[in-house]
């Protein structure tokens, strides 16, 4: 397990590099079309690591809920998104 300073350093590095286009969830803009992408278990073999990385950069996770272990709302390049670990796998949602 990482110590708090190491985790903060890792989060800062992720914010500057691989996850630089990710941000906090935006405010709802009324009804939008939503899209769902199912991630194959080979694309996300350890779903908890995805959640951990998003938590490291300061995004809040929620859950559990009905048929969902956790979900993390965020923006990617300004678009509203969410990543969820649901009963039958990991899903990526996009509202646009």
Average model confidence (pLDDT) across the chain: 92
Q: Which long-range contacts (CB under 8 A, 24 or more apart) does 72-79 make?
A: 73/25, 74/22, 74/23, 74/24, 74/25, 75/22, 75/23, 75/24, 75/25, 75/26, 76/21, 76/22, 76/23, 77/21, 78/23, 78/26
Tell me the pLDDT of the chain (96 aa) as tens digits.
557 789 999 999 999 999 999 999 977 777 778 999 999 999 999 999 999 999 999 999 999 999 999 999 999 999 999 999 999 999 999 998
Q: Is 64 helix (H, G, I), strand (E, B) or coil?
A: coil
pLDDT at 26: 78
């Amino acid at each position: 397990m990482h110590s708090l300073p190491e985790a903060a350093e890792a989060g800062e590095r992720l914010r500057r590099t691989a996850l630089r286009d990710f941000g906090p969830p935006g405010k709802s803009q009324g009804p939008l079309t939503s899209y769902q992408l199912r991630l194959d278990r080979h694309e996300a073999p350890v779903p908890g690591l995805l959640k951990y990385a998003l938590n490291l950069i300061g995004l809040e996770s929620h859950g559990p809920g009905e048929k969902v272990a956790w979900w993390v709302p965020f923006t990617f390049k300004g678009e509203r998104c969410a990543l969820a670990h649901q009963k039958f796998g990991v899903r990526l949602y996009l509202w646009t």
